[in-house]
Amino acid sequence: MFGCSGDLIFTIYAIQLTVLSVIGIVLGLLIGAGVPFIAANSIGGMLPVDAQFGIYADPLIKAAVFGVLSAAVFALWPLAKARDIPAVALFRQFLSDINRWPRRRYLVGLVILGSALGAFTVFTADKPSFAFFFVAGAALSLVLFRFAAGGVMKLAANMSNKRGGITSGRPTLRLAMANLYRPGNPTTSVVLSLGLGLSVLVCIALLESNLNAQINGELPEQAPTMFFIDIQPTQTERFSEIVEAQEGVEKVTLASMIRGRIAKIDGVKAADANVTPEARWATRGERGISQSAVMPENAHLLEGEWWAEDHDGKNLLSIDAQVAEGMYLGIGDTLTVNILGREITAEIANLRDIRWESGTMNFALIFSPNALQGAPGMYIATVNSADGTEEAIERAVVDELPNVTIVQVREALEILEQVLGALGTAVRVTAAVAIVAGALVLAGAIAAGHSRRIYESVVLKVLGATRAGVLKAFVFEYCLLGLATGAIAAAVGSLSAWAVLIFVMKIDWILFPGIVGGVIVACIAVTLMAGFAGVWRALGIKAAPLLRND
């Protein structure tokens, strides 16, 4: 209107955003540098090491670069769109949706800046491969949530315009539905700002709950109380006598063990054999190998039969079914193991189903006794005992057999639970920060639409709507928006947790409805609070001054 060119408008607002971004980055660096000193008094004693709190230039520089690139990426798109908005569109901005792609040069710049941000994230990470998948996942999530927002708007439009639908005869609900897809609607902002943080929170909460269920559910029922390693063959009888004499001991299990490395798989060198990634661990380095005349009590045969106790024929082998499947082996195939420089070949006699997560004594490879006859080895043992008896058992064994190494399983499980709890807390805090940031973005979007809310409330009042009716419509709108965003985040987070547990961790998946429902309720609450704050002010505006101005 004042004769400014598009390039001048772009430059003016780019300078303004640059100044604001620099102020924000500087404040962020100052706060980030000061928080460790504040936290030192509260968490310093909880750390396992003496942390050296100080100001380090490298992370501050990285944070500054992240801030600059992030500001540039997220500012370029709206600036480029603002550059080409015609002046006449500003007079009907409440009634039309200004949806135009920026010019090609800005799109190219956006791609370059986005790629630079992703590359900087990857190359400055301690694990670049993990960072790459994180960046790819974040980009995919943004696209997914953008399409989800479009789906919500389309669904709202269909439900609002459908004759005889749920909005028929309900003007307040119809108005709320219409607000989800009208020009300038906040649907996309809410879904993008809150959806990603909430989906991360759902994913982490479900992962932690599933892992805790594995630890607290299956392991304590089956896992032994203590493991004993390096028991010499001449000490087995005395070891059993010492442990069984202690009060509270329920069960003692002994097994021979010798270290060996898989050399050949059905006659082919292990390095050249076709082995799936899931079974490749068995070919890396040495493994604990056992021998037994009788089938262990915790063994579950899936295929084949156990050899006779007095077997003295060809060398036979019992192998984990999953390892055999990964090596494409079956009954009658052979496996060669190198033990102390000597290669021993045995024929597979049976396949066992091993549940490694049970915590009981398990060996991927168990030979018939004649195969390892004369080979030097040792024994390991497990002890199941009542709670609180570990120290007495440990003292009794160490006093007479000081060479024996002891591992307390219950203590290890408690430490594992603490570690998982700490990791879960740290990630939840990170997700909470993302949610808070999303809430701030949502508040900013609502603040930016304050004029539109004033316009809408005044028009509705002029048409006869009461303040309570308008407020009810806005409450319905944000309830529906929060419900849709929470449901999308819950679905994405649950799907992500399921994929990690099934395909990465290889453990059973359990859905916890309380966690998913809690996230949906939280999302509704956040959107309601943010929306109510902006709507209440808009409802307080008198109609007469606005009409006179128009």
**Residue 168 and residue 265 in one domain:** no
* Element of type H or E holding 248: none
Q: Contact 210/507 with Cβ under 8 angstroms?
A: yes
Q: Which residues contact 491 (CB under 8 A, 6 or more apart)?
A: none
Question: Concatenated DSSP letters for 87-104?
Answer: HHHHTTTTTS----PPPH
Quick check: is 137 in a domain?
no
Tell me the three state secondary structure of residue 302. Answer: strand
**Residue 394 and residue 259 in one domain:** yes
**Residue 393 and residue 493 in one domain:** no
Quick check: is 239 in a domain?
yes
DSSP letter assigned to residue 179: H
Q: What is the distance, to the nearest Å, from the Cα of residue 49 to the centroid of all Cα atoms in its chain?
A: 27
Question: How many other C-beta atoms are found inside a 10 Å radius of the C-beta of residue 484?
Answer: 26
Amino acid at 85: I
Q: Which residues contact 320 (CB under 8 A, 6 or more apart)?
A: 282, 351, 352, 354, 364, 365
Tell me which residue range forms the domain holding 383: 233-402
Structure tokens at 125: 């990470």
Handedness of CA 198, 199, 205, 208 (dihedral sign): negative
333: left (phi over 0), alpha (psi -120 to 50) or beta: beta
Last residue of a domain, one of 385, 402, 419: 402
CB-count burial class (<10 Å; 0-12, 13-18, 19+) for 475: middle
Q: Which residues of 285-308 are buried (b: 16+ CB within 10 A; e: fewer)?
A: eebbbbbbeebbeebeeeebebbe
Task: Please count the structural domains in the chain.
Answer: 3
Quick check: is 45 in a domain?
no
Quick check: is 134 in a domain?
no
Count the alpha carbons within 13 Å of 89 in the hemisphere toward its beta carbon: 13
Handedness of CA 194, 200, 205, 206 (dihedral sign): positive
**Residue 77 and residue 116 in one domain:** yes
What span, in angstroms and rounded, lies between the C-alpha atoms of 425 and 396? 39
Task: Write down the pLDDT at residue 148.
Answer: 87
**Residue 450 and residue 541 in one domain:** yes
153: left (phi over 0), alpha (psi -120 to 50) or beta: alpha
Last residue of a domain, one of 340, 373, 402: 402
- pLDDT per residue rounded down to tens, the chain (550 residues): 456 777 788 888 889 989 999 999 999 899 888 877 776 666 655 555 566 777 888 889 999 999 999 899 888 888 887 777 766 555 555 445 556 678 888 889 889 998 999 899 889 888 888 788 878 877 888 888 888 888 888 888 888 777 766 777 777 777 778 878 877 677 887 788 778 777 877 887 888 788 777 766 555 555 688 889 989 989 999 999 999 999 888 888 888 899 999 999 999 999 899 999 888 889 988 888 999 999 988 788 999 999 999 898 899 999 999 999 999 999 999 999 999 889 999 999 999 988 766 667 889 999 999 988 878 889 999 888 888 888 899 999 999 999 998 888 777 767 766 776 676 676 667 667 766 766 666 666 666 565 666 666 666 666 666 777 777 777 888 888 888 888 888 888 898 889 888 887 777 788 889 888 887 888 888 777 777 766 666 666 665 555 555 5
**Residue 56 and residue 153 in one domain:** no
Quick check: is 143 in a domain?
no
Q: Contact 389/248 with Cβ under 8 angstroms?
A: yes
Q: Which residues contact 257 (CB under 8 A, 6 or more apart)?
A: 288, 289, 290, 363, 377, 378, 379, 380
* Element of type H or E holding 371: none
**Residue 220 and residue 265 in one domain:** no
**Residue 246 and residue 361 in one domain:** yes
Quick check: is 465 in a domain?
yes
**Residue 547 and residue 434 in one domain:** yes
Last residue of a domain, one of 365, 382, 402: 402
Q: Length of the chain, please?
A: 550
* Element of type H or E holding 368: none
Structure tokens at 472: 């009810």
Task: Write down the pLDDT at residue 95.
Answer: 47
**Residue 168 and residue 259 in one domain:** no
* Element of type H or E holding 307: none
Beta strands in 362-466 (DSSP E): 365-367, 378-385, 405-408
What span, in angstroms and rounded, lies between the C-alpha atoms of 317 and 238? 30
What span, in angstroms and rounded, lies between the C-alpha atoms of 290 and 363? 7
What span, in angstroms and rounded, lies between the C-alpha atoms of 56 and 208? 32
Q: Contact 315/347 with Cβ under 8 angstroms?
A: yes
CA–CA distance from 375 to each of 208, 259, 338, 367 (Å)? 44, 10, 12, 12
**Residue 308 and residue 366 in one domain:** yes
Quick check: is 170 in a domain?
yes
**Residue 57 and residue 176 in one domain:** no
Q: Contact 344/337 with Cβ under 8 angstroms?
A: yes
3-state DSSP: the chain helix, strand, coil percent, rounded to 5? 60, 15, 25
Amino acid at 493: G
pTM of the model: 0.64
Q: Mutual orientation of helices 409-448 and 450-462 as an angle, nearest 10°?
A: 60
Quick check: is 282 in a domain?
yes
Residue for token pair 């190998």: 289
Task: Write down the pLDDT at residue 289.
Answer: 92
What span, in angstroms and rounded, lies between the C-alpha atoms of 307 and 300? 14
